[in-house]
Amino acid sequence: MHWNDSAILLSARKHGETSAVVRVLARGHGVYAGIVKGASSKANRGIVQPGNLVGAHWNARLSEHLGMFRLELAQAHAAHLMHDAARLAALSSCCALMETALPERHPYPALYAALEKLLSQLQTSDDWPLEYIRLELAILAETGFGLDLSKCAATGAVEDLLYVSPKSGRAVSRQAGEPYQDKLLKLPAFLLPLSRGAGEGQGGGDLIPRARELRKGQSDAEQKLWYYLRAHRFQHYGFRRQKPIGSYIIDFVCMEKKLVIELDGGQHTEQQAYDRKRTKFLESQGYRVLRFWNDEMIKNEEAALQIILSALEEQNTPSLTLPPSGRGDIIHGLALTGYFLEHWLLTPHNRKLPSARGRLLQTLYKPAETL
């Protein structure tokens, strides 16, 4: 029996003097264990690290045997995160959680893709804590314990959802939940379900298809601004267009400087309340928001570009991995997913949350205490 597949290494435990028992999450085969000979050798010890993307070759005489692994390094995620304790803790936590929560030898292609995305985000994005929490929600959903955050369990309302019931895993509105708030879990804003009314910057279901549509149908003002911002042309700052953040699609954003640029057409004079709500959410996540009318961008682009440059070059631009104003939501999100992972998924099978997840919580929480 043998197979070859792309895999993410989850753990490695010493076996004998030089070998190790390794567990991987393979794209088409799920969690698999096997022995790697010479794992502690100079050639292999850099490969056998949790979080690394490898080409895995598994071989055994019978399918029920432990088997032997031959691993070829494809991407060394762990090596790129050694400088950041929080990101390294997140890598260890997600790998340990996958190993603990998932049954062996059952394919989970969606979870493999989610884990691969998180490992990439850990290296490139400051939004990785949100991606980590979404991965834990995906684990719950794939194992049959998905949460229903689409409407209030008591009233059916889809607005002002503030809590989650620990018994049913369903959302609860502010009005229905206030008398029982000490018994309910908090629902972070970034996990709120997406609005069913798909307007500019908001959509139902997955926002990515809607973002693609908006990129294809940019206004003249958006096309003009994107000409200056694309491909690091604007003083070497990197920008993204029509970027989903929470339940909104943002016109332009510089992730490095946490700066959002919104271009408004005439319809925004009639939706000022919505725009204020949108801006308040972005500011709660640590972003600064600049707004321009389309006419301003078309008729006076030099002034608009100077304002953008001044905002980018402000010396007090936050550079923390987690923005101070968003840390509360991150902690609440981890508490929410941790409760259901522990009480619904692991405890019935006499398992516990991995200690690596506790270290992640400590790493994220301690900096917030010093602010």
pLDDT digits (tens, 9 = 90+) for 189-220: 778 753 333 344 544 446 778 888 888 888 88
Q: Which two tokens stand for residue 255?
A: 């992730």
CATH 3.40.960.10 residue ranges for the chain: 207-312
DSSP for residue 242: E
Rounded CA separation 110/116 (Å): 10
Among the listed residues 338, 365, 363, the one whose alpha carbon sits nearest the alpha carbon of residue 353: 338
For residue 159, pLDDT beyond 90: no
DSSP string covering 204-223: SS-HHHHHHHHHHT--HHHH
CATH 3.40.960.10 fits 207-312, yes or no: yes
CATH 2.40.50.140 residue ranges for the chain: 1-80
Query: What sign does the CA torsion over 27, 32, 352, 126 have?
Result: negative
Structurally, what CATH architecture does the domain formed by 1-80 represent? Beta Barrel (2.40)
pTM across the whole model: 0.66
Rounded CA separation 356/358 (Å): 5
What's the pLDDT tens digit per position in 104-133? 999 999 999 999 999 999 998 888 998 999
Rounded CA separation 184/178 (Å): 9
